[in-house]
Amino acid sequence: MATVGTGTEQPRERILRAAAALLDEGGREAVSTRAVSAAAGVQAQTIYRHFGDMQGLLDEVARRGYASYLAAKRAPDGDGDPVARLRRGWDMHVAFGLAHPALYRLLYTEPRPGQQFAVTGDAQQVLLGIVERVAEAGRLRTGVEAAAAMIHSAGMGVTLTLIAAQADGRLADYDGLSESVREAVLGSVLAPADGTGAPQGAGTRHAAVHAVALKSLMRDGVRSLTSGERALLGEWLDRIAAEDRAGAGDRPEAGDPAGAAEPA
């Protein structure tokens, strides 16, 4: 890799540019102290002085690379439809991964064990906020955290699959995969626009949708209830919502995690 031009550019900026270019060209393994030092035209001590260690440098590269994506995710709705925003957010996530495969792998598959990059945590909070709006609109039939986890994990799996296919020159073989998985996942957590479920068991599912919406609206606090009363009401609402997830004849056996209520 060619050395980053110096000019009047400060060492910190040269280091960041060099690390980002190395990441794009060769992935995480290419971003070594020696390689960054040579590309940026600085001593190793300069990297440590500005970023503490290589992990600190990678954190900053990730934050910068993710900044425009996060800004777009946080932008206000154009049409005010949280479900449409959820779909757009999925598509943006996949598009970001395909446009920046090395950075995406760094963010989602290569953090140190037990840790995650702060920016991915920020993105998850944005997703939770959108799902909250879906629940408040009466369009969610499962818990907010559970729905967000399903959407996030499925979206990440699709993105990594498409990144691998892109690297192998087989992306065209997966045409339509993202949209198909997106709609399958959303179909499992969303209620129809009229707030009811499918014809079979519609009454139960109607109640479940409202239970999820009420619990979501309670997150800002209900002053007329004590903390114990809010906890108890949250447990009741979880039970109502769980009836839809279990379904007629599909109720989980005792001890099955799928039937466990979410914490209030």
Read off the CATH number of the domain in which 36 is found: 1.10.10.60
pLDDT at 219: 63
Structural domain contains residue 235? yes
Indicate if 97 and 142 belong to the same structural domain.
Answer: yes
Using CA atoms, how far apart are residues 86 and 55, in angstroms rounded to an integer? 32
pTM of the model: 0.70
57 assigned to some structural domain = no
Overall number of domains in the chain? 2
Same domain as 83, residue 40: no
Of the given ranges (101-110, 116-125, 168-177, 223-232), which has the lowest mean pLDDT? 223-232
Q: Are residues 163 and 199 in the same domain?
A: yes
Does one domain contain both 33 and 89?
no
Instruction: Report the C-alpha gap between 251 and 67 in whole angstroms.
Output: 43
- In this structure, the answer to whether residues 23 and 127 fall within a common structural domain is no
Q: Is position 254 within any domain?
A: yes
Q: Identify the domain boundary among 52, 74, 90.
A: 52
Contact 101, 163 (CB under 8 A): yes
**Are both 190 and 153 inside the same structural domain?**
yes
225 and 140: one domain?
yes
Parent domain of 19: 1-52
C-beta of residue 215 within 8 angstroms of C-beta of residue 238: yes
**Given a cut of 80, is residue 7 above it in pLDDT?**
no
**Which of residues 232 and 103 earns the better pLDDT score?**
103
Please tell me whether residues 36 and 71 are part of one structural domain. no
Mean pLDDT of 188-205: 58
Task: With respect to residue 248, please indicate whether it lies within any of the assigned structural domains.
Answer: yes
In a domain, 59, yes or no: no
243, 141 contact by CB (below 8 A): no
Instruction: Calculate ∠ Cα 163-165-166, nearest 5°.
Output: 65
Q: Tell whether 58 is covered by a domain.
A: no
Q: Is the dihedral of CA 222, 224, 226, 230 positive or negative?
A: negative
- For 211-254, how does the pLDDT look when each residue is reduced to its tens digit (9 = 90+)? 666 666 566 555 666 777 767 766 766 776 666 555 534 444 33
- 191 falls in which pLDDT band (50, 70, 90)? confident
174 in Cβ contact with 165 (< 8 Å): yes
Question: 220 and 242 share a domain?
Answer: yes
Residues 24 and 116 in one domain: no
CA–CA dist 19, 51 (Å, integer): 12
Asked if residue 48 and residue 140 are part of one domain, the reply reads: no
**Is 161 within the bounds of a domain?**
yes
Question: Is 174 a residue whose pLDDT tops 60?
Answer: yes
**Is residue 60 one of the residues assigned to a domain?**
no
211 and 134 both lie in a single domain: yes
